């Protein structure tokens, strides 16, 4: 593998061991649909995937998950009945590239009898379209058979999701129509231009038999589209025309958020790659949110976690506020689900789903983790006890409004979200004899310690929710009964977590647990896939935590802490944090940069920005496949640079900087949005040296 500068991610040889990982690394997407980075001849086993955002389905009583659709780009070549493919032979050369400035995937494989090349785009211009141009060049004379069409033998983790499906053929077109178990209708239609193959009903593919001479080249263009409910029109334009429109549209997206780092080419490259993976997930047109593994597959049921509000939303506030707004509107639309969840657990107000899908009902299940050896369920309480999710949603509303000055989200239902979440925290709390509110039996961001009391992150965020309620919601707009609840909310005094030598205990009793560092604890690992938390996890009875928790709190709410407290806590938790979640590094970068810990913060930034290039993240946790891209870490890397090293702050629609660049970075040029305007700021070691408004 080689890292090319500028902005091409390339692989110069076939890496059979990493086909699944490369499907993520070479992903194309446009916020609505994603297409995994796999070659044309691959199929279900290699996890080819066309993923659509926001559509979910449940098969029998297995996990409800997002949909994978049939693959319109299947293409296989045969000679004398033998497949000529990287599946069946070692290629003489093989190259795959992702041009992430332009959103174009290309491959070229030189095989024994053919060269197969292709170029592919998921359109940023019309987000229901994806198209490819495949070229074959014969190496020897003879008859070749080319087979192509829509492959319905797809990879689904908890499928099959199509209860009924048909493929229809008309001339050089195919149309898949499927009805999911939940009754949704989806179409994948495609036009195949070039080889004049004959459609064969028996296998559902086009077959073209062609006499080719050495060096003779032929090409096939496939223009495909994905539709929900009603079938749309395939455009007559050629691949080159559609490609141009997509590249221009993608350039406009980049034009609002481009970052150019001088003096550190590796960071520049990695950050652009990370930003690519975050940027391809935002949907400007629809009120939808972003799944924890984006559009790279069905991991985590395609569900939306706190990842979106805490990591992706601040990125989109600067990169495209309209998308940030849509992320919030999604939470407004799913408020009924949050109200229902709270009610079902005996609470009042809104308890957002830990794993949220289209309706906002809880998709997280108690059987989320499996013991990799015995196959037994490791019971976890993420869905019922990770209540900070509701506060994270409210935090995001505040952050968005502070940055953009756009109060209209409150009128659209944001005020209701804030009130209902505040009400939920009130109802979840227990009040002691002194009238202090305690939040017991929860899970903080550190998921290894379950069902703990007075968890620092949760308490502080609950306190903040009440502040935000007071800031934005006018009690006079509420009914008499709600006004009483409102008053109790804004007056509630929450417990302060225990402290020792200035270190905040993550939860009540934390300091009584075995004090061991991560490296020593690792020696107790029996199976690399073991889950460290839960009842029997190796970290459960120790102070080792999964991910930034108190550190996240300080990174997100620095104004609530003094420098000394931040330093003590950062230092204490550093050796005790496993970074078992990809979310952890960027929070450490943010706080480290604020504290002037340049070297460490820089390393955390690289850990976050290099996450999907390195591809070293766990593919399994407690026996469950968790592979895919890492959008929150991708956006987190951006946050580390922009909010950490550039010290960007947003207050009432104004942006300020407090630049402390690591020495190796000469300058950073950053484009960002404030409302509809786009600015370009240049910062170097001295601070901001230039700022101008730009037209995109």
Site for ligand BGC, residues 315 to 344, rule: CB under 6 A: none
Stretch that binds ligand BGC, among 79-87, 183-191, 298-306, 598-606 (CB under 6 A): 298-306
- CA–CA separation, 391 vs 397, rounded Å? 10
In the bound state with ligand BGC, the residue whose beta carbon lies nearer, of 155 and 547, is 547
In the bound state with ligand BGC, the residue whose beta carbon lies nearer, of 425 and 532, is 532
In the bound state with ligand BGC, the residue whose beta carbon lies nearer, of 292 and 566, is 292
Provide the minimum distance between the beta carbon of 308 and ligand BGC in the complex, in angstroms, as a whole number.
9
Stretch that binds ligand BGC, among 67-75, 302-310, 448-456, 532-540 (CB under 6 A): 302-310
Provide the minimum distance between the beta carbon of 584 and ligand BGC in the complex, in angstroms, as a whole number.
8
User: For the stretch 659-679, what's the b/e string if a residue is b when 16 or more beta carbons lie within 10 angstroms of its beta carbon?
Assistant: bbbbeebebbebbbbbeeebb
What's the Cα-to-Cα distance from 267 to each of 259, 603, 631, rounded to whole Å?
A: 11, 11, 17
In the bound state with ligand BGC, the residue whose beta carbon lies nearer, of 111 and 310, is 310
Stretch that binds ligand BGC, among 21-29, 303-311, 426-434, 452-460 (CB under 6 A): 303-311
Task: Draw the binding track, 535-554, toward ligand BGC (x: CB under 6 A; -: no contact).
Answer: -----------xx-------
In the bound state with ligand BGC, the residue whose beta carbon lies nearer, of 307 and 358, is 307
* Secondary structure (3-state) at 629: coil
HSE at residue 49, side-chain half, CA atoms within 13 A, is 34
Provide the minimum distance between the beta carbon of 583 and ligand BGC in the complex, in angstroms, as a whole number.
5
What's the Cα-to-Cα distance from 19 to each of 24, 179, 208, 294, 431, rounded to whole Å?
A: 9, 30, 28, 18, 54
* Secondary structure (3-state) at 528: coil
In the bound state with ligand BGC, the residue whose beta carbon lies nearer, of 220 and 624, is 624
Contact call for residue 447 and ligand BGC (CB under 6 A): yes
What's the Cα-to-Cα distance from 310 to each of 156, 204, 555, 633, rounded to whole Å?
A: 29, 45, 11, 11
Number of residues in the chain: 696
- Cβ neighbors of 512 (< 8 A, separation 6 or more) are none
* Secondary structure (3-state) at 687: strand
Q: What share of the chain is helix, strand, coil (3-state, %, to 5)?
A: 35, 25, 40
Provide the minimum distance between the beta carbon of 305 and ligand BGC in the complex, in angstroms, as a whole number.
4
Stretch that binds ligand BGC, among 275-283, 305-313, 338-346, 670-678 (CB under 6 A): 305-313
Task: Draw the binding track, 490-529, toward ligand BGC (x: CB under 6 A; -: no contact).
Answer: ----------------------------------------
Which residue, among 62, 52, 64, has the nearest Cα to 356 in the 3D structure? Answer: 64
Contact call for residue 583 and ligand BGC (CB under 6 A): yes
In the bound state with ligand BGC, the residue whose beta carbon lies nearer, of 380 and 667, is 380
Provide the minimum distance between the beta carbon of 467 and ligand BGC in the complex, in angstroms, as a whole number.
24
Binding ligand BGC (rule: CB under 6 A), the pick from 56, 305, 424, 437 is 305
User: For the stretch 63-102, what's the b/e string if a residue is b when 16 or more beta carbons lie within 10 angstroms of its beta carbon?
Assistant: bbbbbbbbbbbbbbbbbeeebbbbeeeebeebbbbbbbbb
Helices of type H across 511-549: 518-522
- CA–CA separation, 25 vs 9, rounded Å? 9
Contact call for residue 292 and ligand BGC (CB under 6 A): yes
Angle at 430 between CA 424 and CA 432, to 5 degrees: 145
* Secondary structure (3-state) at 562: coil
Known catalytic residues? 447
Residue with tokens 């993976």: 277
Provide the minimum distance between the beta carbon of 100 and ligand BGC in the complex, in angstroms, as a whole number.
22
Binding ligand BGC (rule: CB under 6 A), the pick from 307, 362, 506, 530 is 307
Contact call for residue 309 and ligand BGC (CB under 6 A): no
Number of amino acids touching ligand BGC (CB under 6 A): 12
Contact call for residue 445 and ligand BGC (CB under 6 A): yes
Site for ligand BGC, residues 595 to 614, rule: CB under 6 A: none
Site for ligand BGC, residues 177 to 216, rule: CB under 6 A: none
User: Is there a contact between 684 and 662 (Cβ–Cβ < 8 Å)?
Assistant: no
Contact call for residue 624 and ligand BGC (CB under 6 A): no
Strands 377-378 and 129-138: unpaired
Provide the minimum distance between the beta carbon of 85 and ligand BGC in the complex, in angstroms, as a whole number.
35
In the bound state with ligand BGC, the residue whose beta carbon lies nearer, of 176 and 305, is 305
Q: In what order do the strands lie in the sheet with 50-57?
A: 28-29, 33-35, 50-57, 65-69
Stretch that binds ligand BGC, among 300-308, 484-492, 564-572, 608-616 (CB under 6 A): 300-308
Q: How many CB atoms lie within 10 A of CB 403?
A: 26
Provide the minimum distance between the beta carbon of 310 and ligand BGC in the complex, in angstroms, as a whole number.
9
Stretch that binds ligand BGC, among 22-30, 45-53, 196-204, 299-307 (CB under 6 A): 299-307
Binding ligand BGC (rule: CB under 6 A), the pick from 581, 586, 609, 629 is 581
Phi/psi of residue 368, each to 5°? -65, -25
Helices of type H across 280-387: 306-307, 313-319, 321-333, 335-344, 382-385
DSSP label at 311? Answer: I
Contact call for residue 24 and ligand BGC (CB under 6 A): no
Straight-line distance from the first to the last Cα atom of the chain, in angstroms, rounded to the nearest whole number? 34
- CA–CA separation, 159 vs 182, rounded Å? 12
In the bound state with ligand BGC, the residue whose beta carbon lies nearer, of 583 and 681, is 583
* Kind plus residue range of the DSSP H or E element containing 659: none
In the bound state with ligand BGC, the residue whose beta carbon lies nearer, of 208 and 553, is 553
Provide the minimum distance between the beta carbon of 306 and ligand BGC in the complex, in angstroms, as a whole number.
5
Task: Draw the binding track, 248-287, toward ligand BGC (x: CB under 6 A; -: no contact).
Answer: ----------------------------------------
Provide the minimum distance between the beta carbon of 307 and ligand BGC in the complex, in angstroms, as a whole number.
5
Provide the minimum distance between the beta carbon of 624 and ligand BGC in the complex, in angstroms, as a whole number.
10
User: Is there a contact between 454 and 497 (Cβ–Cβ < 8 Å)?
Assistant: yes
In the bound state with ligand BGC, the residue whose beta carbon lies nearer, of 71 and 581, is 581
Residues that bind ligand BGC (CB under 6 A): 292, 300, 305-307, 445, 447, 546-547, 581, 583, 632
């Amino acid at each position: 593998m080689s890292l090319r500068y500028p902005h091409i991610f390339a692989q110069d040889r076939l890496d059979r061991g990493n086909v699944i990982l490369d499907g993520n690394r070479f992903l194309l997407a446009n916020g609505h649909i994603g297409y995994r980075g796999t070659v044309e001849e691959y199929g279900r086993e290699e996890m080819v995937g066309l993923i659509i955002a926001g559509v979910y389905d449940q098969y029998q009583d297995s996990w409800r998950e997002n949909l994978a659709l049939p693959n319109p780009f299947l293409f296989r070549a045969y000679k004398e009945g033998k497949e000529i493919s990287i599946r069946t032979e070692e290629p003489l050369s093989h190259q795959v590239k992702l041009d992430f400035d332009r959103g174009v995937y290309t491959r070229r494989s030189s095989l024994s009898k053919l060269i197969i090349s292709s170029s592919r785009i998921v359109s940023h211009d019309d987000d229901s379209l994806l198209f490819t141009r495949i070229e074959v060049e014969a190496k020897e004379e003879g008859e070749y058979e080319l087979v192509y069409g829509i492959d319905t033998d797809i990879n689904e983790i908890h499928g099959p999701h199509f209860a009924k499906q048909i493929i229809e053929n008309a001339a050089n077109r195919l149309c898949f129509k499927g009805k999911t178990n939940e009754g949704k209708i989806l179409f994948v239609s495609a036009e195949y231009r070039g080889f004049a193959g004959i459609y064969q009903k028996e296998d559902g593919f086009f077959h073209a038999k062609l006499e080719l001479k050495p060096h003779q080249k032929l090409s096939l263009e496939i223009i495909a589209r994905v539709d929900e409910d009603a079938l749309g029109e395939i455009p007559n334009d050629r691949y080159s025309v559609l490609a141009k429109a997509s590249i221009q549209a993608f350039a406009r997206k980049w034009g609002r958020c481009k970052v150019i780092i001088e003096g550190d080419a590796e960071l520049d490259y990695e950050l652009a790659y990370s930003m690519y993976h975050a940027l391809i997930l935002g949907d400007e047109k629809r009120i939808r949110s972003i799944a924890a593994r984006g559009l790279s597959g069905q991991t985590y049921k395609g569900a939306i976690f706190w990842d979106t509000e805490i990591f992706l939303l601040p990125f989109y506030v600067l990169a495209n506020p309209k998308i940030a707004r849509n992320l919030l509107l999604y939470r407004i639309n799913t408020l009924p689900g949050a109200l229902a969840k709270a009610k079902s657990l005996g609470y009042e107000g809104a308890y957002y789903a830990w794993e949220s899908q289209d309706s906002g009902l809880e998709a997280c299940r108690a059987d989320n983790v499996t013991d990799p050896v015995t196959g037994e369920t490791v019971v976890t309480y993420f869905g019922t006890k990770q209540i900070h999710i509701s506060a994270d949603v409210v935090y995001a509303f505040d952050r968005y409004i502070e940055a953009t000055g756009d109060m209209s989200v409150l009128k659209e239902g944001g005020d209701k979200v804030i009130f209902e979440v505040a009400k939920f925290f009130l109802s979840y709390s227990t009040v002691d004899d002194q009238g202090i509110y305690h939040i017991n039996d929860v899970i903080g961001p550190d998921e290894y310690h379950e069902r703990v009391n007075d968890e620092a992150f949760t308490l502080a965020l609950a306190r903040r929710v009440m502040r935000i309620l007071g800031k934005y919601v006018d009690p006079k707009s509420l009914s008499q009964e709600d006004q009483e609840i409102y008053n109790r909310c804004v007056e509630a005094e929450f417990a302060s977590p225990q402290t020792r030598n200035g270190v905040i205990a993550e939860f009540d009793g934390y300091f009584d647990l075995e004090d061991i560092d991560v490296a020593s604890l690792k020696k107790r690992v029996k199976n690399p896939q073991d889950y460290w938390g839960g009842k029997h996890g190796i970290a459960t009875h120790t102070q080792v935590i999964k991910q930034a928790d108190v550190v996240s709190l300080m990174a997100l709410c620095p104004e609530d802490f003094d420098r000394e407290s931040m330093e003590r806590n950062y230092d204490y938790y550093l050796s005790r944090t496993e970074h078992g979640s990809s979310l952890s590094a960027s929070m450490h970068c943010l706080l480290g940069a604020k504290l002037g810990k340049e070297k460490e913060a820089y390393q955390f930034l690289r850990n976050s920005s290099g996450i999907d290039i390195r591809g070293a993240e766990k593919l399994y946790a407690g026996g469950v496949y968790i592979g895919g891209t890492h959008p929150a870490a991708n956006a987190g890397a951006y946050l580390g640079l922009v909010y950490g090293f550039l010290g960007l702050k947003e207050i009432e629609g104004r942006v300020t900087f407090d630049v402390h660049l690591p020495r190796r970075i000469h300058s950073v040029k950053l484009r960002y949005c404030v409302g509809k305007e786009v600015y370009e700021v240049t910062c170097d070691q001295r601070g901001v040296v230039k700022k101008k408004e730009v037209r995109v």
